[in-house]
């Protein structure tokens, strides 16, 4: 396991993530067997989870990405969501699975859902690695959840603090000087 950073408290280990991703893959396989599926990753934070998840799904499907921004360089969501990169795959009449690293307020996923619905997919489901239900502002139906967590700022396994710590193989609570836990 990688080095634990001084300002990061381990929350979910590399092994726990690996096991849960395998379980999610099996659930998704069962639900989409025999169906035309497009899996959409929401960049940037989703990349490690997305890579592991698509390898855990033993089906044939299309892969594409969107890049959505709601944080910029801040540690809190701006509440303003914009599409920086749209999908490059036709989804009309196809089953769509959106894969996201974390859902907190729900604003990013709600806007993404509305945007994709305009392209007439057969169905849309959502898979998130982390769910922070206490932060929800917009009710978004999440079909597959890796882990439900409390309202803490997390980094690692793709999640960042000002574009740092994405490469950690685990998920940890990020502590700034103002929120250090002893």
Active site residue 104: yes
132 DSSP assignment = -
**Could you give the 3-state DSSP secondary structure of residue 24?**
helix
Q: Are 136 and 118 in contact (CB under 8 A)?
A: no
161: phi then psi, degrees, rounded to nearest 5: -125, 110
Query: What tokens were used for 128?
Result: 């998130």
DSSP code of 26?
H
Catalytic annotation, pick one of 104, 131, 151, 160 = 104
Handedness of CA 154, 45, 91, 145 (dihedral sign): negative
Which residues are the active-site residues?
A: 104
């Amino acid at each position: 396991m990688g080095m634990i950073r001084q300002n990061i408290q381990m929350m979910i280990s590399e092994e726990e993530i690996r096991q849960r991703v395998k379980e999610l893959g099996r659930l998704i396989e069962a639900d989409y067997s025999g169906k035309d599926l497009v899996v959409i990753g929401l960049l940037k934070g989703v990349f490690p989870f997305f890579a592991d998840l698509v390898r855990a799904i033993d089906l044939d499907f299309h892969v594409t990405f969107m890049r959505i921004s709601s944080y910029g360089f801040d540690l809190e969501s701006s509440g303003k969501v914009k599409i920086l990169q749209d999908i490059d795959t036709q989804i009309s009449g196809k089953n769509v699975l959106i894969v996201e690293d974390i859902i907190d307020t729900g604003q990013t996923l709600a806007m993404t859902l509305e945007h994709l619905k305009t392209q007439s997919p057969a169905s849309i489901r959502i898979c998130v690695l982390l769910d922070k239900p206490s932060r929800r502002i917009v009710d978004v139906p999440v079909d597959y959840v890796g882990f439900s967590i409390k309202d803490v700022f997390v980094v690692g396994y793709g999640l960042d603090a000002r574009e740092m710590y994405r490469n950690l193989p685990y998920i940890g609570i990020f502590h700034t000087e103002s929120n250090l836990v002893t």
